[in-house]
Amino acid sequence: MIYFNNVSKLYKDDSVALDDVTLTIDTGEFVSIVGHSGAGKTTLAKMILVDDNPTLGTVFFESTDIHTLNNKDLTQLRRRMGVVFQDFRLLSNKTSYENIAFAMEALGKTDEEIESDVPHVLELVNLSDKVFHFPHQLSGGEQQRLAIARAIINQPELIIADEPTGNLDPTNTFEIIQILKKINDLGTTIILTTHNPKVIESVNKRVITMEKGKIIRDSKGGK
């Protein structure tokens, strides 16, 4: 599904964010990318989202060099992805229902589709009783579950979760990971960046360890 071919990212101050990274992520995988702050985890995610461009090398989504796409094709590509951020990025003036509906409206979904799908996805993330709550009325864990619901509502093939549990306590962290595992079980590819070893053990899937922009370990065993 995703292939990094000798990808490096260098910045003007001579700092190295990625250093000759070659990596394959298959459809349906759950891959955790771990490493200390500055290891290159977020830069790797940005390359997939085309939020940043490689200095050297190529990133493929299926057989497409995604950094050569025009704006129209790039928009189509991004519709095949969902993103979950550490800081939630919810719309503060919209309810749980409206936050998710807004993501559907952006893709031109009908009112009937919205009315059918939003309750279902809220149930999936255990927020059926928070339909009309605004983000400030939700706990941190509930806000992140709402962010996940928004990310999956349009049935993306890939979810990128960038430090999604970084601001959460252990109980909420566990619940978020269980929801991501459930989504992966339904066939969605998951890429999770984290620095929390307990999250890695909870996922118990493939782990890629990064250090100073390099991949130093790629383990199938979830450690």
Angstrom distance (rounded) from CA 143 to CA 72: 31
Q: How many CB atoms lie within 10 A of CB 105?
A: 14
- Residues 180 and 100: beta-carbon distance below 8 Å: no
Range of the domain at 137: 2-219
Pairwise CA distance, residues 194 & 7, whole Å? 21
Distance from C-alpha of 122 to C-alpha of 137, rounded to nearest angstrom: 16
pLDDT the model gives residue 13 = 81
pTM given for the model: 0.92
Q: Is the pLDDT of residue 109 over 80?
A: yes
Low-confidence winner among 8-12, 61-65, 218-222 (lowest mean pLDDT): 218-222
Give the model confidence (pLDDT) of 41-98 as tens digits: 999 999 999 999 999 999 999 999 999 999 999 999 999 999 998 889 999 999 999 9
Query: Model confidence at 223, in pLDDT bands (50, 70, 90)?
Result: low
Which CATH number does the domain housing residue 80 bear? 3.40.50.300
Number of domains in the chain: 1
Rounded to 5 degrees, what angle do the CA atoms 9, 13, 16 make? 30
- Per-residue pLDDT tens for 125-178? 999 999 999 999 999 999 999 999 999 999 999 999 999 998 899 999 999 999
